[in-house]
Chain A
Amino acid sequence: MAKFRIAVHITPRKGLLDPQGNAVRDALRTLGFKAVKDVHVGRYIIVETDAYDALTAEDTVTDMCAKLLANPVTEDFEIESAVPA
């Protein structure tokens, strides 16, 4: 077993109203960043886990996302490649 570190990005499901993202987008425009088209606010989660190899660690974290870390109704997730922790 080795220890791996995997970063998870969770974002609001595309097409669903994202009031938080819209509020940040509007604030950026008010600040003068007129070219801003869209902003989405999500969560960034770092998981450290023991696993036999990187692939197994990634599979495990994908399972974690499906079962708890992301809401399947409202959120999308992406995981980064596992790196040794």
Chain B
Amino acid sequence: MKFGIVTFPGSNCDYDAFQAITEIIGEEATYLWHKDHDLKGSDVIILPGGFSYGDYLRAGAIARFSPIMQDVVAHAKAGGPVLAICNGFQIACEAGLLPGALMRNSHLQFVSAEVRIRVENDDTMFTNLYDRGEILRMPVAHGDGRYVASPDVLDQLEAEGRVVFKYVDAAGDIGADANPNGSERNIAGIISEAGNVLGLMPHPERACSPLLGSNDGVRLLESILARVAA
């Protein structure tokens, strides 16, 4: 399976994603340049973390208009998988692939830490190798990670099982202490209505080796293989 990783000016987790795909799960990966209109036959698109366009105006607001994004949106609308991590999540929201927005962290500080997230739905393209309720450890590194949406949208996301990950504490409980950025309802990751776009602030691609503190992210990538190949 071929993973296409988009590089925007300011992306800085594209290489991490490339390495996780090629070295950890042993699949093919290729970089996609933001100015191109070519997905190079990729089966899965990764919008990686970073600070595309310097976060000018709003995080993700300018990247959304990169030429490649027209092709990424078309790929998503046709049901193609898109994994949007961190800045990628911000871009996906700005591009309308996912509802809501990511705002400045409630404490105003950049947060770089390992967090715990709980799997809320294990029946998705991205989580089928996890168990519901399982607690994963992954790093976060962001200044604008507070997920917000209108109460109606939040209710709908929860009712439809589209809230895939929530921030929890060591005991697995949802609480303000476990929330690294003030996200509504401790939301760490959501999927699109069709289920083929996942946006999340934590970095699964940087949680792919015990040497890095956690390999809980590996099964997220392998879940895509399991589902897309099936």
Contact = CB atoms under 8 A, between A and B. Distances in A.
Interface of A: 16-17, 19-20, 23, 43, 68-69, 71, 73-74
DSSP class of A's interface residues: helix, strand, loop or mixed?
mixed
Q: What are the nearest 7 A-B pairs in CB distance? A: A73-B101, A74-B101, A19-B106, A19-B108, A71-B101, A74-B103, A71-B58
Interface residues of B, number: 20
Contacts, number: 35
Contacts of A23: 108
A20 B58 contact: no
B211 interface: no
B103 to A, nearest CB: 6
B184 to A, nearest CB: 9
A43 B101 CA distance: 17
Mostly helix, strand, loop or mixed at chain B's interface? loop
28 contacts: A16-B103, A16-B148, A17-B103, A17-B106, A17-B148, A19-B105, A19-B106, A19-B107, A19-B108, A19-B182, A20-B104, A20-B108, A23-B108, A43-B57, A68-B57, A68-B61, A68-B65, A71-B58, A71-B94, A71-B101, A73-B93, A73-B100, A73-B148, A73-B149, A73-B150, A74-B101, A74-B103, A74-B148
